[in-house]
Structure 1
């Protein structure tokens, strides 16, 4: 049988669903184990979230992770994420993207090496370094893995360092579990087409300032919503949602709850409100990006059905 150590891993469950002519009938389910209690186990499957009573479980075991997504799937999601976080200063190097936003966030100030740079790899990285040097910025390269592993190997040889590993996590919107009923008098989640000054203040506090380029990154998306939860007249929880990738992907970012309002389920409520908006806008899947070392956030996203699609590293050029 399963143990708490199996939560977060892919499992297969054979359950008893009936009896025919004195013999049990079985049904199998495959998915990520997101919760295990004395009475039930809960799986996030490709068809949605299901609960299986422990009394019905005939056999259950951990199985190897699903196959890695194809290179095309990783590239498509990275490009949808770029649309959702658009740097105001941009250039192309073949298919590669060069991006700058006055240094505000690594995502908006890094090269994205997806596709063919139209020149040998060493020459492409030389061009990346020159482009950022001309802007007076340190050169950064966002390397989605395993897609950009050859780029990473060349950067290793050049002595580039790495920022912490980031998980790019996804969930089909249909598989995201509904939240518990909200207690009477709970503050509502508001969704606005533009960020309020209160919203921007929280974003500035989290990201260390808010230059003009940051406002472009946050707002220059055709389909975008800014979630807000007020309590006693004060903004205590925020989030941002975008729909990109030809309408498939709901991108979630800047999910933040002030310390005094945590452990009340507000982050989950913000995410579900944005998920409802994204689904109404035609999105079928959601993605977010979270540092692997942020174990609290990773645990929260697991309860909402998110699993890791791929990872990336932000690579940093050595000092000149």
Structure 2
């Protein structure tokens, strides 16, 4: 049977689906184990999320990953993403990066567990706890999978909980740029700095933006803020792009469309414009981060050519009693 240490790994589950006469009927599901409770397990499969009651599980086991990227590729992409979302307070623990930003976003307020922390794993976790506790914040660790499987196993033993699984998805820029330009949609205005209306639209999704948030959003040398306005001048779509890392990754974030303007192709329209800006700066591929449970967004990005490069779990320390 599967254990908590298998969360984030590829598994196969044989499920009992019925009985015909004296014959038991089975079906198999293959995917990434994203949750395991006392009653159910949840898989992220190519066809979507599947929840299976444990009472229906006949057999389950971990299987080799499907063409997983090399560890070095995961680390390089995670470091590029960290550079694109720069927490103002930072420290190093060997290869790990400790980040704080007044609790605005998990990415900027978690220890990025990539590389060697330069000490035994238990001592590294203790150091993370002290660092965040000294700043009055709940300790968080960002654990890319399956690279950080040992970290996740150690955190399981300590009773750390997990936020929803995040997919780090990538796509080449060429297909985005090859899509025909939409002359029927408003122009995408690409600006070096966001307008007040841009901030307001993002705040509707991310909550009030503290000063720290503005420092993160503007703290990258090569970044762009996309604005799309309707005929009345009202903002109907926004996004942020940043090019970072030696591999010149384009990081796409905060892609939003006003509810009244959805299902018109604005997401692809905005991405195409940002992709054009990024290619002028040497980028050939883009990445974005999306929660696995956000099925509409995952489906949209799939249609635009994005696929999962790797995943990560944001782990939370148990509350101090």
* C-alpha displacement of 1:177: 6.0
Q: 1:109 to 1:125 in 2, by over 3 A?
A: same
Contact kept, 8 Å, 2:85 with 2:108, in 1: the verdict is: yes
* C-alpha displacement of 1:95: 1.2
Q: 1:198 to 1:174 in 2, by over 3 A?
A: same
Alpha-carbon distance between aligned partners in 1 of 2:224 and 2:176, rounded to the nearest angstrom: 19
Aligned residue number for residue 195 of structure 2 = 196
Aligned residue number for residue 27 of structure 1 = none
Alpha-carbon distance between aligned partners in 1 of 2:291 and 2:129, rounded to the nearest angstrom: 25
Alpha-carbon distance between aligned partners in 1 of 2:181 and 2:250, rounded to the nearest angstrom: 24
Aligned residue number for residue 56 of structure 2 = none
* C-alpha displacement of 1:66: 5.1
Aligned residue number for residue 285 of structure 2 = 285
For residues 116-142 of structure 1, what are the alpha-carbon distances to aligned partners after superposition, in whole Å with 9 as ceiling and x for unaligned?
A: 111110010001001000110101100
Task: Tell which deviates more after alignment, 247-256 or 104-113.
Answer: 247-256
* C-alpha displacement of 1:89: 0.5
Alpha-carbon distance between aligned partners in 2 of 1:301 and 1:180, rounded to the nearest angstrom: 17
1:216-227 to 2 correspondence within 5 Å? Answer: 216-227=215-226
Contact kept, 8 Å, 2:176 with 2:271, in 1: the verdict is: no
Contact kept, 8 Å, 1:226 with 1:239, in 2: the verdict is: yes
* C-alpha displacement of 1:182: 2.0
* C-alpha displacement of 1:149: 0.6
Structure 1 residue 263 corresponds to structure 2 residue 227: no
Alpha-carbon distance between aligned partners in 2 of 1:172 and 1:198, rounded to the nearest angstrom: 30
Contact kept, 8 Å, 2:141 with 2:315, in 1: the verdict is: yes
Q: Which secondary structure does the structure 1 equivalent of 2:80 belong to?
A: helix
Q: Which secondary structure does the structure 2 equivalent of 1:243 belong to?
A: strand
Structure 2 residue runs without a partner (length 5+): 1-30, 32-45, 47-63
Q: Which secondary structure does the structure 2 equivalent of 1:176 belong to?
A: helix
* C-alpha displacement of 1:245: 1.0
For residues 17-64 of structure 1, what are the alpha-carbon distances to aligned partners after superposition, in whole Å with 9 as ceiling and x for unaligned?
A: xxxxxxxxxxxxxxxx9xxxxxxxxxxxxxxxxxxxxxxxxxxxxxx9
Q: Which secondary structure does the structure 2 equivalent of 1:246 belong to?
A: coil
Q: Which secondary structure does the structure 2 equivalent of 1:119 belong to?
A: coil
Aligned residue number for residue 135 of structure 1 = 135
* C-alpha displacement of 1:275: 0.6
Aligned residue number for residue 67 of structure 1 = 67
TM-score by length of 2: 0.78
Alpha-carbon distance between aligned partners in 2 of 1:312 and 1:181, rounded to the nearest angstrom: 34
For residues 134-184 of structure 1, what are the alpha-carbon distances to aligned partners after superposition, in whole Å with 9 as ceiling and x for unaligned?
A: 110101100000111100000000000011110000011123363344244
* C-alpha displacement of 1:203: 1.4
Structure 1 residue 154 corresponds to structure 2 residue 157: no
Aligned residue number for residue 211 of structure 1 = 210
Aligned residue number for residue 179 of structure 1 = 179
Contact kept, 8 Å, 2:177 with 2:275, in 1: the verdict is: no
For residues 240-288 of structure 1, what are the alpha-carbon distances to aligned partners after superposition, in whole Å with 9 as ceiling and x for unaligned?
A: 0000012520000000001111011111111111111111110011000
Contact kept, 8 Å, 2:177 with 2:276, in 1: the verdict is: no
Contact kept, 8 Å, 1:221 with 1:242, in 2: the verdict is: yes
Contact kept, 8 Å, 2:168 with 2:308, in 1: the verdict is: yes
Contact kept, 8 Å, 1:179 with 1:269, in 2: the verdict is: no
Alpha-carbon distance between aligned partners in 2 of 1:149 and 1:174, rounded to the nearest angstrom: 33
Q: 1:143 to 1:199 in 2, by over 3 A?
A: same
Corresponding residue pairs, total: 258
1:71-110 to 2 correspondence within 5 Å? Answer: 71-110=71-110
Contact kept, 8 Å, 2:182 with 2:269, in 1: the verdict is: no
Contact kept, 8 Å, 1:97 with 1:113, in 2: the verdict is: yes
For residues 72-99 of structure 1, what are the alpha-carbon distances to aligned partners after superposition, in whole Å with 9 as ceiling and x for unaligned?
A: 0000000000001000000011111000
